[in-house]
Amino acid sequence: EPEVTQTPSHQVTQMGQEVILHCVPISNHLYFYWYRQILGQKVEFLVSFYNNEISEKSEIFDDQFSVERPDGSNFTLKIRSTKLEDSAMYFCARKPSGANVLTFGAGSRLTVL
Amino acid sequence: AQSVTQLDSQVPVFEEAPVELRCNYSSSVSVYLFWYVQYPNQGLQLLLKYLSGSTLVESINGFEAEFNKSQTSFHLRKPSVHISDTAEYFCAVSEGGAQKLVFGQGTRLTINP
């Protein structure tokens, strides 16, 4: 059983639509992260989340983005009004407290038309 | 601020040949260093890591990397590659105590028979 499960694996949406990407890390009391990888570019940090609040975010993570953990297990990334440039692979990751290694999910590919 | 540079975007080699994927980082404090591998259509998997101790670290599939503090490098090597090593390889760094990873641009390793 994978440690980090992401859904959907691929989503196609129209520009301006809202998108929610889901991540289910197995354990609790962890750090959670969202990263993205635009095709052909590097993997970029978006946001980290600990103890039910954002601990750090990048300048990419503007007001169009939000994260939450509504039910204690599901960790979501919401993009309020998608733009063409939001097309990317979005990776969720987890890290146990006190550890130094991130475990990544398989990613969710978002295509904005 | 920390940054990671992978000088080679693509490295083609023949099967059973040796390979070196280069990674240099910049940081003003102590760092943890990682190599992640992304096989086609899959997520990011940890290949090996340097946290402390011996500067030479090895993976279970024959890769090794050496932390060189004076040259701020963490090059990845394998003495004899296999077709199954075809993947994208990402070097990443986190500053001691920091909770996020910063990735390099990635190096696509292509193995020719």
Looking at residue A4, its pLDDT comes to: 87
The confidence band for A101, taking pLDDT boundaries of 50, 70 and 90, is confident
More confident residue, B61 or A15: A15
CA pair distance B109, B61, nearest whole angstrom = 15
Contact B99 A50 (CB under 8 A): yes
Rounded to an integer, the average pLDDT of A6-18 is 96
> What percent of chain A stands above pLDDT 90?
62
Looking at residue A76, its pLDDT comes to: 93
**Closest listed residue to residue A15, CA positions, set A80, A79, A83, A65:** A83
Looking at residue B34, its pLDDT comes to: 94
How is domain A4-112 classified at the CATH fold level? Immunoglobulin-like (2.60.40)
If phi > 0 it is left, if psi is from -120 to 50 it is alpha, else beta; for residue B72 that is left
The yes-or-no verdict on residue A73 having pLDDT over 80 is: no
Cβ-based contacts of B34 with chain A (< 8 Å): 101
**Closest listed residue to residue A74, CA positions, set A27, A108, A24:** A24
No. of helices (H) and no. of strands (E), chain A: 0, 11
Torsion angle defined by CA atoms of residues A51, A55, A60 and A64, in that order, rounded to the nearest 10 degrees? 40
The confidence band for A71, taking pLDDT boundaries of 50, 70 and 90, is confident
The yes-or-no verdict on residue A64 having pLDDT over 70 is: yes
pLDDT-flagged residues of chain B (< 70):
1, 96-98
Q: How far is A102 from chain B (nearest CA, A)?
A: 8
Contact B34 A101 (CB under 8 A): yes
Rounded to an integer, the average pLDDT of A7-24 is 95
Looking at residue A96, its pLDDT comes to: 77
Domain B3-112 of CATH type 3.90.1170.50: no
The yes-or-no verdict on residue A107 having pLDDT over 90 is: yes
CA pair distance B97, B82, nearest whole angstrom = 36
Q: How far is A81 from chain B (nearest CA, A)?
A: 26
Sorted by where each begins, the domain ranges of chain B are 3-112
